[in-house]
């Protein structure tokens, strides 16, 4: 199949790039990484929702590259905290990040803050969900949007060595395991991003056919 359309992924994460390329592998598209366009200053994320941030990034990088651009914004929403950490999921405890902190150190600080804020919340009120919003934009505007979630509860002690971020604290009740206890294939099958990407692929097929 000869690709007929290039799509730029608005992320420098090589894992996300591999995932998107695999998910869209049977479509006539070529998925490009941002590094193929040289240094592009990232936009300041000012949105109050995952959808607003995804749209902003997609439109920004579509204008910067002249290509269709796919962006995602995702994170954790905890009901007892009014939806926090939400769009601040990756920087929830940024005031306590050590200088030059790597992702592991940032994850540990974020998880510590989350557990501290839920310390007095009973187990039956620790419901939460991971949310992923995907937006595809061209220079003419937004072309497609999808979102998906995975429901769970926040446990009191981390479990599992896989994944990253809040995965060790996020228990999927139907499986009896945290996201960090799942092998990669099973995580991709049930995760918010995995489901959103599969939904996006189906809609993109229809868009390309039209």
pLDDT in tens, 151-182: 999 999 999 998 889 999 999 999 999 999 99
Task: Summarize the confidence of residues 18-37 as an average pLDDT.
Answer: 89
- The per-residue pLDDT for 3 is 60
Per-residue pLDDT of 39-76, as tens digits, reads 888 888 788 999 999 999 999 999 999 999 999 999 99
Alpha carbon distances (Å) from 67 to 32, 56, 84, 125 = 10, 15, 33, 44
Residue 72 bears catalytic tag = no
Indicate which residue of 72, 73, 147, 148 is catalytic.
73
Q: Is the pLDDT of residue 127 over 60?
A: yes
Q: Total domain count for the chain?
A: 1
CATH (domain of 175): 3.90.950.10
Mean pLDDT estimate for the chain: 92
Give the span between the Cα atoms of 46 and 198, in whole angstroms: 27
Q: Looking at per-residue confidence, does 11 or 114 come out higher?
A: 114
- Domain range for residue 44? 5-209
Q: Is the pLDDT of residue 17 over 90?
A: no
Six token digits for residue 195: 């489901």
Six token digits for residue 165: 């971020």
Q: What percent of the chain has pLDDT over 90?
A: 72
- The crossing angle, in degrees rounded to 10, of helices 192-209 and 14-23 is 50
């Amino acid at each position: 199949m000869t690709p007929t359309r290039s799509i730029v992924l608005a992320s420098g994460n090589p894992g996300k790039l591999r995932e998107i390329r695999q998910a869209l592998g049977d479509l006539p598209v070529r998925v490009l990484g941002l590094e193929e366009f040289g240094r592009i200053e990232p936009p300041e994320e000012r949105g109050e929702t995952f959808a607003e941030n995804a749209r902003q990034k997609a439109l920004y990088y579509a204008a910067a590259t002249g290509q269709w651009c796919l962006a995602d914004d995702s994170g954790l929403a905890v009901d007892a905290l009014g939806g926090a950490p939400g769009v601040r999921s990756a920087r929830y405890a940024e005031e306590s990040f050590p200088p030059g902190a790597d992702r592991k150190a940032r994850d540990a600080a974020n998880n510590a803050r989350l557990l501290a804020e839920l310390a007095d919340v009973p187990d039956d009120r620790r419901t939460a969900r991971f949310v992923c919003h995907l937006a595809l934009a061209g220079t003419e505007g937004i072309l497609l949007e999808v979102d998906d979630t995975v429901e769970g509860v926040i446990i009191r002690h981390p479990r599992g060595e896989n994944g990253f971020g809040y995965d060790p604290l996020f228990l999927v009740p139907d499986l009896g395991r945290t996201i960090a206890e799942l092998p990669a294939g099973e995580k991709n099958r049930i995760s918010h991003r995995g489901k959103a990407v599969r939904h996006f692929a189906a809609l993109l097929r229809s868009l390309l056919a039209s």
